Amino acid sequence: MSDKTKIGIIICDRYKLCAGGKCFRALLKKEGAFKIYKGKEVEIAGYTSCGGCPGGNIEYAPEEMIKNGATVIHFATGFIVGYPPCPYIKYFHDFIEAKYGIKVVYGTHPIPQKYYLTHEKLKTWKEPYWKEILEPTLCDEEIRKAYD
């Protein structure tokens, strides 16, 4: 293992009771958006919710995570696969990067297949900006099924 990377994870408030199992499993396996850490040691510097629409905690949580050593913040996959997906996700991403100068990654664990299929039927992700948002977590079908 090389340098340790400290990350913060922000989850959608709808999932504030989530225990983080899929995120932590994906982090250990370096799957989904965590594939960028292959060969690196990673530590969680913070884990919190956005604070509910329209994301009141987005303004403050990154600062605490940075104080705890975070150099990257991930938006949990729930922001992407919720029904509906977070309408503020792109704004939150741009705001945190502009205000705090820290990299923000869309997603954590791979998109589960059952969510993928439903969103495909709903044509949720048809707008061009979704390509960038989906890329880190849109794995192959076998991996998506493993996260159902």
Mean pLDDT, range 51-80, rounded to an integer? 97
The 3-class secondary structure across the chain, one letter per residue, is CCCEEEEEEEECHHHCCCCCHHHHHHHHHCCHHHHHHCCCEEEEEEEEECCCCCCHHHHCHHHHHHHCCCCEEEECCHHHHCCCCCCCHHHHHHHHHHHHCCEEEECCCCCCHHHHHHHHHHCCCCCCCHHHHHCCCCCCHHHHHHCC
pTM: 0.95
Whether the predicted pLDDT of 125 surpasses 90: yes
Q: Count Cα atoms within 13 angstroms, Cβ side, for 86.
A: 30
> Which among 46, 59, 48 is positioned nearest to 88, based on CA atoms?
59
Whether the predicted pLDDT of 2 surpasses 90: no
| Confidence band, pLDDT 50/70/90 cuts, at residue 45 | very high
Mean pLDDT, range 83-92, rounded to an integer? 97
Evaluated on CA atoms 28, 76, 6, 3, the torsion sign reads: positive
| Confidence band, pLDDT 50/70/90 cuts, at residue 3 | confident
Question: What's the number of domains the chain is made of?
Answer: 1
CATH of the domain at 105: 3.40.50
Domain range enclosing 52: 4-146
The answer to whether 45 touches 6, Cβ cutoff 8 Å, is yes
